[in-house]
């Protein structure tokens, strides 16, 4: 094991010396978060103000603890929580970037509310993985019973 580690370190040092940049492989989620952070930083540097992404993410973070995820929209009338997906968050960010005011959940524009309601209907209409299919529900269950012979009975049959 020590030989492998030593050889790897020698190879790594050689590659770094030759000008190759070694990067750790990160997950898709980590790359997306890094891209978002770069975008936020560039936006803040260009405008001199806090990023619209930060504002939207902070405002739409669930005020309680619901099972829908970290970001949801709470309907001001029914107080129901609706899961927010990436495209809806992006729409909210674009709204803020174009001068829209978003200070509470009540300020979510009607067009984006319709997106949220549509996504919720689609989420509820999707068949659940744990639900049985219609064929399974219409057929009675099959029970298979096997009978094993006792060891002494088996010996009796062999002799």
C-beta pairs of 131-140 under 8 Å, 24+ apart in sequence: none
Classify residue 82 as exposed, middle or buried by CB count within 10 Å of its CB (0-12, 13-18, 19+): buried
Judge whether residue 114 has pLDDT over 90: yes
- pLDDT tens per residue, range 23-75: 565 677 778 777 877 877 787 778 777 778 888 888 888 877 778 888 888 88
Cα→Cα distances 16→5, 23, 25, 97, Å: 16, 11, 17, 42
> What's the predicted TM-score (pTM) here?
0.55
């Amino acid at each position: 094991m020590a030989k492998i580690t030593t050889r790897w370190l020698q190879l790594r040092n050689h590659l770094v010396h030759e000008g190759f940049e070694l990067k750790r492989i990160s997950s898709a989620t980590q790359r997306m978060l890094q891209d978002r952070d770069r975008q936020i930083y560039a936006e803040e540097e260009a405008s001199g103000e806090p990023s619209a992404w930060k504002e939207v993410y902070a405002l739409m973070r669930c005020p309680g603890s619901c099972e829908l995820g970290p970001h949801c929209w709470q309907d001001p009338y029914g107080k129901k929580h609706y899961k927010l997906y990436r495209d809806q968050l992006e729409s909210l960010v674009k709204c803020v970037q174009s001068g829209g005011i978003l200070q509470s959940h009540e300020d979510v524009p009607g067009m984006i509310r319709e997106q949220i309601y549509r996504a919720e209907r689609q989420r509820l209409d999707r068949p659940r993985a744990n639900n049985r299919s219609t064929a399974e529900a219409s057929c009675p269950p099959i029970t298979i019973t096997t009978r094993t012979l006792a060891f002494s009975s088996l010996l009796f049959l062999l002799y």
